[in-house]
Amino acid sequence: MLHIVPLPTGVPSTARRLFSRPLTTSVAASRLPTLKLFNSAVRRQRKTAIVSQGQEYSYGQLLQDAVALRNRVGHGKEIDLTASRRIAFLCPRSYEYVVAQWGVWSAGAVAVPLCTTHPVPELELHYTLTDAEADTVIFHPSFRNRIKPLREKLRSLNWIELDDIPVRSTIDDVVRQQFDQIPFLNSNGALIIYTSGTTDKMQGKPKGVLTTHANIEAQVESLLAAWKWTEDDKILHVLPLHHVHGLINVLTCALWAGATCEFLEPFNAEATWQRWMSEKKDLSLFMAVPTIYSKLAHAYHSMSPEEQSKATEACGQFRLMVSGSAALPETVFAEWERISGHRLLERYGMTEIGMALGNPYEGPRIPGTVGRPFPGVQVRIENEQGENVVDQPDEAGELVIGGPQVFKEYWNKPEATRKEKANGWFRTGDIVSRSQNGVFRILGRASVDIIKTGGYKVSALDIEREMLEHSAIRDVAVVGLPSEEWGEVVGAMVVLRQGHSMELTDLREFLKERLASYKIPRVLRVVDELPRNAMGKVNKKALRTLF
């Protein structure tokens, strides 16, 4: 069994956990595929890679534990880098997660990270594992009881608990280890991430997005250049790790750059502020979704004036704060700037393409916009006639993305792949416009955010932005509702601030000076909370059924 031994204060970052079973030396033990991520780690074996549960882990430790896991999964056999087998893993935001991911990649296999928050893992994870055709599942002991029914159903899979992995156990091994390179094609599959399904253009179950190592390299190196990552950076990680935001933008970028990634698990707004306000002041980046910034702002307002002053001062340690995965309300943008002094950098991306657009690292960040293309990203805006209108200011159309960062395929769904991806270009399903100055603005998803009412096409996001200016509204989602007369009418679901009430007439009166009459909601529903997924996205297709 794997046992974690707490490290005494002052132990250098190369000190490591001690395990009960040493790794048996084998030919494959010190061999790694020729990936830039691994090459970077080999050069920095003494440097701290991960901070998890108060413990530091070096790049050397991480490499050796990953190789040890690889050998366990492969039963000590020679590595087959052409097999492209799928290996899934279920781990919390922790050092063990990274060991699992790197262990899979060091075996030349395709990593399938599983969602840790499914309310019924027996159903949701069963779908993911069977659709991905995984042959092995690596899981953290904290999930042992939750997945018992799943293991009973999927007995043919190889289930490996992270409490049962042999690894090296001495500091000398970590420092002195040499790793031989194995020739490896970057075109090989690396990762299958399942789409959230909140706006699935193809309807039905989430699709597995298969990206190659070359895709990931393009996605990561574009962000390293745009956001000026260095090995001196340190980022606090509070995001889910089965989505691109947490997995690529935060974790993989940090480790690719040779920086340090510190996990906070589980996320808690008060604990996040406490970490920021600690004496260390050693963090340089933070990335989150809008709902997290809202929770942090709420926690800030519950502090005493003295604590608020310290909290604002603590935000000075950061050189960059990023928001993404859902539209950033301008009210949240403004409130966060008042609290922290930071103008959040909003960016746009998808599972299929990584990050495509972003406000500048240096330069004006305009609320309600997502900036310009990242390095290496090719962009088209196609109108209903299929014409590229990207050079025509303020012309709306579907955003189409090309470049080496575009995913390989939807796993086992050739028809969906052909429909959404042609000649290397991916149809995002998002309607956008580009200003005279070259700045992009997201108008919404073609499937749920573009409301066709009385012959007009209305952006739900535009309406939401105006509604959030109302002092009583804390959160809002706007959808199109079926109407025999108008085709669709605008419906709004709102969450009110404490102590406030609202009627439809109040809302319409507020909006009549801000929006054209056909854009003003005709249906209003007040709820306690909007149904959001782990990344803060509202499932608007499901939301329509609640009116």
Q: At residue 276, does pLDDT exceed 50?
A: yes
The domains of the chain, with CATH numbers, are: 27-36+61-184 (3.40.50.980), 450-546 (3.30.300.30)
Please give the residue that has the higher pLDDT: either 375 or 6: 375
Q: What is the DSSP string of 44-62?
A: TTTSEEEEETTEEEEHHHH
Interval 371-401: pLDDT, tens: 999 999 999 999 989 999 999 999 999 999 9
| Phi, psi dihedrals of residue 299, rounded to the nearest 5° | -65, -35
β 456-459/180-182 pair status = unpaired
Four-point Cα dihedral 104, 190, 320, 460, nearest 10: -120
pLDDT bucket at 449, cuts 50 / 70 / 90: confident
Joined tokens for residue 224 = 């390293």
- What does each C-alpha distance from 398 to 31, 54, 379 come to in angstroms? 45, 46, 10
pTM of the model: 0.84
pLDDT bucket at 170, cuts 50 / 70 / 90: very low
Interval 308-349: pLDDT, tens: 999 999 999 999 999 998 889 899 999 999 999 999 999 999
Residue type at 236 in one-letter notation: L
| Distance between CA atoms of residues 162 and 44, nearest Å | 25
Q: Where are the alpha helices (DSSP H) in 142-203?
A: 148-153, 171-176
Interval 121-141: pLDDT, tens: 667 899 999 999 999 999 999
Please say whether the beta carbons of 324 and 287 come within 8 A.
yes
| Distance between CA atoms of residues 91 and 141, nearest Å | 9
Q: At residue 198, does pLDDT exceed 90?
A: no
Residue type at 50 in one-letter notation: I
